[in-house]
């Protein structure tokens, strides 16, 4: 009985070790690249034209600002309506 329990414990421990994966770092945004703003009050002119502003009904205190640069890349930055500032980390979506 001890041998069977020890075998099950070993198998369980091996499954836990194999299933562990490293968590993303602080600048990771899923599969998107992170872009950092130099300040929280403006966006770089290199980001191009503002193409859309969206609001998530679950989070009405923030707006998402979508920019398209001349190369076709999309820059997404969140504007906090309560603090009246941009979040310093933005998402960069590239096209292929």
pLDDT in tens, 62-83: 999 999 999 999 999 999 999 9
How many domains, the chain?
1
With respect to residue 18, please indicate whether it lies within any of the assigned structural domains: no
Domain assignment of residue 4, yes or no: no
Q: What global pTM score does this model have?
A: 0.67
Cβ atoms 48, 68 nearer than 8 A: yes
Instruction: Give pLDDT tens digits for 6-19.
Output: 777 777 666 666 66
- Share the mean pLDDT of the chain: 84
Question: How much is the pLDDT for 63?
Answer: 96
Q: Mark out the alpha helices in 1-94 (DSSP H runs).
A: 2-19
Domain that holds residue 55: 29-93
């Amino acid at each position: 009985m001890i041998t069977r329990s020890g075998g099950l414990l070993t198998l369980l421990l091996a499954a836990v070790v194999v299933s562990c994966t490293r968590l993303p770092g602080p600048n990771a945004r899923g599969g998107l690249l992170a872009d950092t703003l130099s300040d929280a009050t403006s966006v770089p002119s290199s980001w191009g034209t503002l193409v859309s502003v969206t609001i998530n009904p679950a989070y009405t205190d923030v707006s998402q600002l979508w920019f398209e640069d001349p190369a076709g890349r999309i820059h997404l930055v969140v504007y906090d309506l309560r603090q009246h500032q941009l979040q310093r980390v933005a998402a960069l979506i590239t096209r292929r």
